Amino acid sequence: MARTRDESSPLFAGNAAGTLRLIGYLALALVLMVLDQRNGWLWRMRDTAAAVVEPVYRLAGLPAAGIHSLSAAFGDRQQLTEQNQRLRQDLLLANAKLNQMAAVAQQNAHLKELLDTRNSLGLKVQLARVVGVDLGAYRYRIMLNVGARDGVKPGQPVIDAHGVMGQVRDVLPTTSVVMLITDPSHAIPVVIARSGLRTVAYGSREGDQLTLPNIPLVADVRVGDQLLTSGIGGRFPPGFPVGRVISVAPASTGMFLVAQARPAADINRSDEVLLLHDQAEPEGPPAPAAPVGPPRDLAPVTAAIDARRGNAAQAASATNRPSSNEGMRR
């Protein structure tokens, strides 16, 4: 950094050189901001400087981790015993429910097979830990300790034990940033479990609520209704709890109902989360089965026909690939 010293702090008036330099730097900053807004330079820069940036994140996350482990180390023995007891009970309950569900799941799989749709009950997940780092975005984002090296990709849904938390936004080699569903610029397609009404839940300014701003006036929405992911848009798999409606009121325009919901996930408290691996089912009808013709050895031996058939099959599989895997980012 150049250290120039050509002004000696005048008592009452500044000189023009300082002002000019300020204007220069401000212009440079503005250019950087515009370029970053357009091209996302910040993340490219972080990507290239990952070797420096990531250890700093780990270092900054140490106090939070330290407090966490301290509370575990010096925690009341009784408190820990109680917690253990409670977890055991929870596990027992969950296992009992799972056993009950197993039969239903099997039945579901069987029915789906009959209907020839894909099975969506298998859950491919990856456990990740939240790194306690302040990302300067007012609680709308969290950082995880897994990254591109662990196979994380932007757009992956993130859940905790209670519901959907958000989606992966940016990925560095060993860390990744998650955009929470409460971020004002995040939207998630939901369905109201009781009435089946589909709508979209946006984040809100306060950072601990969801807003559903465009529900039709005649729609049946009540306080306490559960919101599930609808799976539309293909980013979040259907059927995960998103939140619970806490208030419903007509919008100021009088054209819609506006509902507020509290997220189901423990957004401020979770320290371990699950990353889903490409769970979303493709939209649209399932791909038709490959045409089954007579066995190959019965075919007349002409290379031209074979080649044409091969081309046709390729084209068919290409057109049937799901096309709408786009995210629901506003």
Partner 1 sequence: MSRYRDSRWWFIGTLAFALLLMLVPLPAALEPFKPYWPALCLLYWTLESEERVTLGLAFGVGLLADMFNGVLLGEQAMRLCAMVFIALRFRSRLRFFPMWQQTLAVLALLLNDRILLLVVRMLANEAMPPAQWWIAPFIGAALWPFLYLLLEDLRTRLRRQ
Q: Is residue 17 a contact point for partner 1 (CB under 8 A)?
A: no
Q: Mapping DSSP to helix (H, G, I), strand (E, B) and coil, where does residue 67 land? A: helix
Taking the CB of residue 59, how many other CB atoms lie within 10 A of it?
10
Q: Is residue 69 a contact point for partner 1 (CB under 8 A)?
A: no
Distance, CA of 51 to chain centre: 25
Q: Mapping DSSP to helix (H, G, I), strand (E, B) and coil, where does residue 16 land? A: helix
> Which residues, at least 6 apart from 175, have a Cβ–Cβ distance to it below 8 Å?
54, 57, 131, 143, 144, 145, 146, 147
Q: Is residue 205 a contact point for partner 1 (CB under 8 A)?
A: yes
- DSSP letter (8 states) at residue 296: G
CB of 63 to partner 1, least distance (A): 5
CB of 175 to partner 1, least distance (A): 12
- Per CB under 8 A, the segment of 5-13, 153-161, 252-260, 303-311 that binds partner 1 is 5-13
**Looking at 55, 59, 75, 76, which residue binds partner 1 (CB under 8 A)?**
59
CB of 65 to partner 1, least distance (A): 11
Q: Mapping DSSP to helix (H, G, I), strand (E, B) and coil, where does residue 105 land? A: helix
**Looking at 128, 132, 211, 280, which residue binds partner 1 (CB under 8 A)?**
132
- DSSP letter (8 states) at residue 266: -
Q: Rounded CA gap, 185 and 311, in Å?
A: 44
**Looking at 16, 38, 49, 324, which residue binds partner 1 (CB under 8 A)?**
49
Query: Which positions touch partner 1 (CB under 8 A)?
Result: 1-5, 9-11, 14, 18, 21-22, 25-26, 28-33, 35-37, 41-42, 45-46, 49, 53, 56-57, 59-60, 63-64, 132-139, 184-185, 205-207, 268
